[in-house]
Each structure stands twice: as structure tokens, then as C-alpha cells.
Amino acid sequence: MLSKPTENSVITPPRDPCSPLTLQYPNTSTVLRLPEFPVSMKVVHLAKLIIDILKEATSKNLSPEACTCLCETSINIAELFLVPSFDPFEDTEDPGKASRFFCDCWYLSHAIFWESVELKEQLPNENFFDIISYLRSKGAATLKNNSDALHGKINVLINQMGGLDGQGKENHGLVIEMAFVQTVALINKYVTSWKKNLPKDEYRFLLQSTIDKTLKLLLVDVLSIQDISAKHSTCISNNFNLLLAQLSKVRSEDLADDSDSWIRFKLVIGLMDDSLVTIVENWENGTLSKYFRSSEVQHLVRALFQNTEKNAALRRRITGDIL
């Protein structure tokens, strides 16, 4: 059973109330019911086997010792699912495998949890908490490792372009553009698989987290540049606009609201194109001060504009953090 391929899956919960996938008990809150997500058929049958064993353990014809033995057997079967020799999800860099494993662990832990609750009056004082907790933590850890692997690859791609500071670098705008195109293609590969295999909330969380971490990485870089020429400012602005346009397609309608990182990124694009007077006005009216510290805006202003007395006087008006 454990050696069956994981790609053979079904969506839970099914419409058929007689299906072995249906673990929605009538007395439970809708908050605790499973959302829709694909589950491997082998895990569906594994969960049914465990449920059947637990129901058998409640048989009146069994001695307390036999009942305890059957409960321990059900726990051992669940643990066997996580034994490395049977675990086909060692490569956590594969988003499809990682997300399917997450769903399988969630479904299996859900099955054990609710069956143990339903039969708690008839079962011996057996502790199912450890196996339920372990299944959930194992699935969550695998998905987190998958997300971390993506972030690591994005870091490599962005670091390979040599930063956003183009001083003394030929064709640096093209290098930045190519790095951004590769980054979006990589994100899209993972996101497509996550969307296909994960519950909506988990998928949206990973999508938002991935976009935010990518934008934060670039924001730290651009806000640390010491000197930005007018030509390179236009280059950064154009490439940032290109990146946002591509990421907008990736997130589509799945993320309705703009995060703080997304808004900060758009504001930085505006800072690259605005006059110093406009920047100061936007700081004083709260457009910038809501999302940036004064030190961040002052540093970017020094990098973008000549250090004249007039500019210095304007820059001194950028003060008073509200963050």
C-alpha cells in the first residue's frame, strides 16, 4: 500500500457520503472540517485501514489487552507512513511532492484525530496526540523546507546579478532584467504546483510569503546604494515595473490586497522618478512616512540627488518616523 505512486490522488471532501474519503462527522464544527485538497489514494486506503482497526478495537468481544494492542497497531501503521524507507518525499525541492506530502499528512492526522474522538468512550486510555502532532509537524516542515528551497534559489539568482548598483558595470540593466525574468519563471513553477496541490489558504500564504521575501530582498539592496545616476535610476525603475507586471500575472486574482512590501516596492519606483520637492511633500503628507523610516528615504535621496544647499535643506524636512 505504501509503495503505490502518490500522483494517483483524489479531491477531498468528495460529494459521495459513502466514500472512504468522507471524514466529516455530523457533530463537528464546520471550522474543523477539511477544506478541499488532493489526497493520495494510498493514504485514503491507509486512513480507512486505521479507522477500521480502531473500530475493531471497540468490539465488546475483545479483552482490554487486545483492544490496547489494536490501538497501538493503528499508531504503528501511521508511523510506518513516515519511515524514510517508505517516504518518497525526501526531495523537498520538488513543490509537487512536498505539497502532496503535506496534504497526505493532514488528511491522515485528521482521520486519526476524529476517529479517536468519536470512539473515545469505547477506546482504552491510549494517547493519539503524539502521532497526530507528529504527522502535522512533519507535513508542515516538509512544506516549509520546500518554500525555503525556493527562497534560497531566488537569493542565488539575485546575488548573481551583482546587486542593483550599476556603477562601473556594462549592460547591467540587461543583467538585472534577465535575473528578474529567471526569478519570476522560478516562482511561477513553484506557485503553479502549490496551487494545484494545496488547500487555498496554504497556497495563498506561500504565494504571499514568496512575493514579499523577493521584494524585501530587492528593497534592502536598492535602499543601500550610495550613488544612483539619472540613467541608472531609470534602469532600476523600468526593471522594477517589469518585475511587478510579471508578478501581478503570477498572483492573478489569488491575492486581492497589496501587502506592505508590494506597496513599498511601488513607492520606491515612484521615488526613482519623482522630484525632490515631490518626495518631501509625499513624506510630509504621510504617503511615504507610513511605509518608510526617515533614514531610508534620506539615504535614497542622497543617492539620487546632488548634495546642494537647497537639496540639503529639503532633505532635512524628511524627519519624524511613525513606524
151-195: pLDDT as tens digits? 999 999 998 888 888 666 778 889 999 999 999 999 999 999 999
Least confident segment among 143-147, 168-172, 281-285: 168-172
What is the spatial distance between Cα 170 and Cα 162, in angstroms, rounded to a whole number? 12
17 vs 40, more confident? 40
In this predicted structure, the answer to whether residue 28 has a pLDDT above a threshold of 60 is: no
* pLDDT (mean) for 221-228: 91
Q: What are phi and psi of 22, to 5 degrees?
A: -75, 105
Confidence label for 322 from pLDDT (cuts 50, 70 and 90): low
Find out whether 46 and 19 touch, Cβ atoms under 8 Å: no
Give φ, ψ of 38 to 5 degrees. Answer: -70, 140
Q: Return the closest-CA partner of residue 67 out of 56, 51, 75.
A: 56
**CA nearest neighbour of 198 among 249, 153, 144, 155:** 144
Which grid cell is 202?
A: 496554504
Segment 81-91 shows an average pLDDT of 59
Residue 292 has pLDDT above 80, yes or no: yes
Amino acid making up residue 31: V
Share of residues in the chain with pLDDT > 70 (%): 84
The upper half-sphere exposure of residue 137, i.e. CA atoms within 13 Å in the direction of its Cβ, equals 7
pLDDT at 171: 81
Asked whether 138 and 105 are in contact (CB, 8 A), the reply is: yes
DSSP 3-state assignment of 55?
Answer: helix
pTM, entire model: 0.84
Residues β-bridged to residue 323: none
Could you report the per-residue pLDDT of 98-109, keeping only the tens digit for each? 999 999 999 999
Cell of 219: 528593497
The alpha carbon of 103 is separated from its chain's Cα centroid by a whole number of angstroms, namely 14
